[in-house]
Amino acid sequence: MIATVVLRDNAELARYVGLRLGGLDGVTATRTQLATALHAEGSRWRLDRLGEEQRDLLLGDRPPGGGDRALRREDEALVRLLVKDCRQPVARLAEHTGLSPTTVRRRLARMERGGALMYRCEVARSVSGWPVTVYLWATTPPDEVARVAGQLAGLRETRMCASLSGSHNVLFAVWLRSVDRVQAFETALRRRFPQLAVTDRAVALWQLKLAGQLLDPDGRRLRTVPFWTWDDPGTESELDALVARLRTGPPRTVAP
């Protein structure tokens, strides 16, 4: 099983892996790798069924100026509504947040300009013409990682590409036409990137969750599981208890 998780810091990651995942029935071992840079993700991938004019219509008129890359606290209620359904009209967003439609439009424009909000329209993998998802771990010399990963991100098949900590310093996910294309794809990689060595690969049999949506085996949406910053009071209590034990040390025993 492969899980991509977004957390706020390393301490939260340690709590998630050690206390949350480690506490699940059936989990016997985990292997964690940190993404040090994200070079490509699914919102940038294109099926290439729309012409340039059609894509421009979808993008609309983007207001000039800069925006915020980070979300502001006052935007939280608005963003939570968008996470559930980003197609809601401004009037409905204003009604549920208590903001005026003008304020909603202004905040959306600010977050869109800065990249704090990104919209994506996914297609069921089984009807996309690219039904096979393959994850590939690879190594390349440290001084070549940024350049090679940037070029991998530009490949037609690449859906995701990240630089990693550890011995495998590149991870990328690709969509292919069929399983028998895996070897041909790796052969083409070898020719184009002789300094890149694929060290492991895995074909995804069922992508259970994508962008906050639970999917059936064919990649069709079942329901929404809104994603947000992780909050688990149970593991917080466990962590507090562990820190307290570490602070005081083991109980002292008095010899008779």
Tell me the whole-structure pTM to 2 decimals.
Answer: 0.83
| Model confidence pLDDT, tens digit, residues 192-250 | 999 999 999 999 999 999 988 999 999 999 998 877 776 777 788 888 888 888 898 87
Predicted pLDDT of residue 235? 84
| Model confidence pLDDT, tens digit, residues 57-100 | 877 666 555 666 677 889 989 998 998 888 999 999 999 999 99
Give 194-242 as a DSSP string. Answer: TT-EEEEEEEES---EETTEEE-TTS-EEEE----S---HHHHHHHHHH
* 134 burial level (CB within 10 Å; 0-12, 13-18, 19+): buried
Above 70 in pLDDT, residue 109? yes
Q: Which domains does the chain have, with CATH numbers?
A: 33-47+124-204 (3.30.70.920), 68-114 (1.10.10)
